[in-house]
Amino acid sequence: MSRDSGCAFDAPPPLALYVHMPWCVRKCPYCDFNSHAVQGEIPEAAYIDALLSDLDAECRRLAAGPIRPLISIFIGGGTPSLFSGLAIRRLLDGVRARFVLAPDAEITLEANPGTVDQAHFAGYVEAGVNRLSIGVQSLSADALERLGRIHTPDAARRAVAAARAAGITNINLDLMFALPGQDLAAARDDLERLIALEPTHLSYYELTLEPNTAFYQQPPTLPDLDLADAIQQQGFALLAAAGFERYEISAFAQPGYRCRHNLNYWRFGDYLGIGAGAHGKLSAANPGTVERRTKHRHPDAYLNACQNVALGVSWSAYLDAYQSANAPTSQAIDLGANDPTSSVRTLSEQDLIEEFALNAFRMVDGFTSADFELGAGLRATALEPGLRAASELELVSSRMDTGNQILIRPTARGLAFLNDLVACFAGPD
């Protein structure tokens, strides 16, 4: 195979599915995600219909390439736990009818305390969910009030207990630090209380003020940089002592519980994105291209676009044809005005280098030259200018691994100054 120009793939990257549920009870003042405060009842049935139509459109695009099993599904939001277990079952049954799932497929659903109970969780388990991500954010009543959260510390504890009672053992808890008015002692107390809940995974990240949020318009008083760094380092030490391994900038896991869905993002794998505002990334071998696709952001626009998607050939018919001919039988088809896609971007070689760096350098373990060639479809030599610049700044280290591949890892300095590290791989302005 030649990679003298453009990108090319020896084998397609792994494939995952992201599903976006855009509604929440109330928009949090720090949140810049595509979430919309629910007005009245959620159009649950209509939205699941739309998701499955969107998925059918994605299947038509996949028809030009080899069949790949889904390694993971992540249902995020918004607040997916506002949907019933029956709705999630209908969604996942629809996914299973259209795709082969890997035998050990990880299926995650995000939930917020105050919107769930044991019956909800039992319904999700029956639907096939095997991992939960619960947005605790803090176990301090004062902090939760400042953050605009709808739940109390006790509600968060009850949610974790209810999830376990429903049979879910793989649980991530989200916790923010450097909160308004937080000092070292308060941050330590918050994290110790969360660790005591014995999650298998913990997302530990600093509160930042993002544009187009209420906090950005009226900023609260946050800890200064020195205090925020001290809180972070204290947290890292507490998590390590509790048996959590830091494997990404803000992700910590007990042994065997790393999030496979997020790892696929960071390793530059492929993923389909369905739902209002969802993003997807898809590689094609012939010609060698990588596309990023975004769906209509507002729920109303998304529902309208999905309402009359015309399909023609079903995905099951494609599977039958593929299995009989042992080869793809069609090209991706433009669905026209009814396509829920709002934008499509084909990545240039420079885009591929920059976006791979942005994702892969988040991982503490780094990546190999072979990982880059698999994910980006480019020769590893394309990384050399950026690696030289990053090495001079002591942001990366590299060595030969046991498989005769170059292992490239961010240094502690590189993890701390990720933006500077990624900038080394940026093209000319």
Which pLDDT score is estimated for 7? 73
Nearest C-alpha neighbor of 80 from the set 48, 109, 51, 40? 109
Residue 7 contacts residue 290 (beta carbons within 8 Å): yes
Which pLDDT score is estimated for 425? 97
Query: What's the pTM?
Result: 0.91
Residue 171 contacts residue 200 (beta carbons within 8 Å): yes
Which pLDDT score is estimated for 309? 62
Which 3-state string (H, E, C) describes 231-253? Answer: HHHHHHHHHHHCCCEEEECCEEE
DSSP helix/strand/coil, 280: strand
- Within 10 angstroms of residue 114's Cβ, the number of other Cβ atoms is 17
CA distances, 271 to each of 18, 28, 140, 211 (Å): 7, 27, 36, 27
User: Percentages helix, strand, coil for the chain, rounded to the nearest 5?
Assistant: 40, 20, 40
Q: H or E stretch including 86?
A: helix 85-98
Which pLDDT score is estimated for 286? 66
CA distances, 159 to each of 150, 195, 325 (Å): 13, 15, 49
DSSP 153-202: HHHHHHHHHHHHHTT---EEEEEEES-TT--HHHHHHHHHHHHTT--SEE
Angle in degrees, CA 416, 417, 421, rounded to 5: 130
Q: Provide the phi-psi class of 178: left if phi over 0, else alpha when psi is between -120 and 50, else beta.
A: left
**Domains of the chain: residue spans and CATH:** 15-266 (3.80.30.20), 349-423 (1.10.10.10)
pLDDT tens-digit profile, the chain (429 residues) = 334 446 777 778 999 999 999 999 999 989 889 999 998 899 999 999 999 999 998 988 887 677 889 999 999 999 999 999 999 999 999 999 999 999 999 999 999 998 998 999 999 999 999 999 999 999 999 999 999 999 999 999 999 999 999 999 999 999 999 999 999 999 999 999 999 999 999 999 999 999 999 999 999 999 999 999 999 999 999 999 999 999 999 999 999 999 999 999 999 999 999 999 999 999 987 667 899 999 999 999 999 988 866 443 344 544 454 444 444 433 444 444 457 888 899 999 999 999 999 999 999 999 999 999 989 999 999 999 999 999 999 999 998 877 778 899 999 999 999 999 999 999 876
At 266, phi and psi to the nearest 5? -70, -25
Q: Where are the alpha helices (DSSP H) in 289-411?
A: 299-306, 315-325, 349-360, 369-376, 384-392
Residue 34 contacts residue 20 (beta carbons within 8 Å): yes
Q: What is the side-by-side order of every strand in the sheet holding 396-400?
A: 367-368, 406-410, 396-400
Which pLDDT score is estimated for 249? 97
Q: Which amino acid is at 195?
A: I
- 173 - beta bridge partners? 134, 202
Q: Which two tokens stand for residue 297?
A: 């952001």
- Within 10 angstroms of residue 269's Cβ, the number of other Cβ atoms is 22
**Residue in the block written with tokens 């968060």:** 156
Q: Which two tokens stand for residue 365?
A: 């373990």
